[in-house]
């Protein structure tokens, strides 16, 4: 049994980590750190995590990391201050170590660049080998996961023009974190959809462009939807010259044929956030818009699952040589 500590356990991502880890057959949570919530129990912070309810939340002390593996689930720009104190393997759910370009980090996050770790999106070609050989892994962002899974095989194969990517994606309110905020009050969110961070300023843009490569250029408009969890992304791009639209479906099928967490839906079915709620899966479907000459790929994930905690555990399983699917739900929760 591998002992595990969760640093930053008071937020939604930390709570989802604890929920999934509580039922993992090979990983056992023995330490939970959240400085502002020290002295409370897991049950007080996350009442739904019943089997860990009595575990005490403590202050993080660099010399007292008595576990085999650590997950960091801290707000962006906070993980870097703890990384040097960890000698264990670690997966960081924050953004601190995702980007290669220090100037891109400063532009979108406004602080000093802490460095770059192995990027933990296992479904990318060759990435599992890198993750398995790594002691430090940067978990992808939630929007970045949904968009990259939809576009990466097509960009790599040259089937679409990566310089003309347009994405509109809606996320649930948990994507904004657990800190109180007027725009996230129920009366502000209920019965409406709101655009935010419009005009190329969303922090996942450089991450997505970096991961896709091939000169990718992204116009991204995120939306806040009246739901707690989930992401539905619509990714469009011009079909490359001379490409038969049927090649799009063939490419996605070949890329994800053996991926346990990717669902390519039947021709008459389109992704919905309800399909992936509570899971580590991504649901994909595509179409060719002949009128506009553009490929459309829709992607649905749970932003707390495949977009955060589930993917972090998937990465940990690979790093530790465990079965990749261990502890990760494939079937969703409905209604």
Tokens matching residue 117: 């770790």
Closest CA to 71 of 90, 52, 49: 90
Exposure class string for 280-315: b at 16+ Cβ within 10 A, else e? bbbbbbbbbeeeeebbbbbbbbbbbbbbbbbbbbbb
Dist CA 237 CA 155 (whole Å): 10
Contact 211, 204 (CB under 8 A): no
Rounded Cα distance between 99 and 115, Å, is: 8
**Residue 251 φ then ψ, to 5°:** -65, -50
Catalytic residue among 4, 86, 90, 142: 142
Provide the phi-psi class of 213: left if phi over 0, else alpha when psi is between -120 and 50, else beta: left
Asked about 142 being catalytic, the answer comes back as yes
Contact 208, 181 (CB under 8 A): no
Helix axes 102-109, 205-212, angle to 10 degrees: 150
Q: Which residues contact 187 (CB under 8 A, 6 or more apart)?
A: none
Question: Would you say 238 and 288 are in contact if contact means Cβ atoms under 8 Å apart?
Answer: no
Provide the annotated active-site residues. 142
């Amino acid at each position: 049994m591998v002992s595990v500590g969760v640093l930053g356990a008071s937020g939604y991502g930390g709570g989802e980590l604890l929920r999934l880890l509580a039922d993992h057959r090979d990983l056992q949570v023995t330490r939970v750190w959240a400085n502002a919530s020290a002295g409370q129990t897991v049950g007080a912070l996350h009442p739904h995590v019943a089997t860990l309810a009595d575990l005490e939340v403590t202050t993080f002390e660099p010399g007292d990391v008595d576990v085999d593996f650590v997950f960091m689930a801290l707000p962006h720009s906070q993980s870097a201050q703890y990384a040097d104190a960890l000698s264990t393997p670690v997966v960081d759910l924050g953004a601190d170590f995702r980007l290669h370009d220090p100037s891109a980090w400063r532009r979108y996050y406004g602080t000093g660049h802490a460095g770059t770790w192995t990027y933990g999106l296992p479904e990318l070609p060759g990435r599992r080998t890198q993750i398995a050989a790594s002691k430090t892994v940067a978990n992808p962002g939630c929007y970045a996961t949904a968009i990259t899974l939809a576009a990466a095989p097509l960009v790599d194969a040259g089937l679409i023009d990566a310089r003309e990517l347009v994405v509109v994606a809606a996320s649930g309110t948990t994507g904004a974190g657990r800190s109180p905020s007027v725009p996230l009050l129920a009366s502000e969110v209920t019965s409406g959809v709101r655009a935010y961070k419009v005009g190329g300023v969303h922090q996942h843009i450089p991450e997505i462009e970096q991961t896709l490569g091939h000169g990718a250029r992204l116009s991204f408009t995120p939306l806040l939807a009246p739901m707690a969890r989930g992401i539905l992304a619509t990714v469009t791009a011009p079909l490359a010259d001379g490409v038969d639209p049927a090649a799009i479906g063939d490419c996605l099928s070949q890329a994800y044929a053996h991926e346990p967490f990717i669902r390519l839906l039947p021709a008459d079915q389109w992704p919905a956030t309800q399909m992936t709620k509570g899971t580590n899966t991504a649901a994909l479907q595509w179409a060719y818009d002949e009128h506009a000459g553009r490929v459309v790929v829709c992607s649905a994930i749970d932003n707390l699952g495949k977009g955060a905690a589930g993917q972090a555990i998937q990465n940990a399983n690979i790093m530790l040589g465990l079965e990749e699917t261990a502890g990760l739900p494939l079937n969703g929760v409905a209604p």
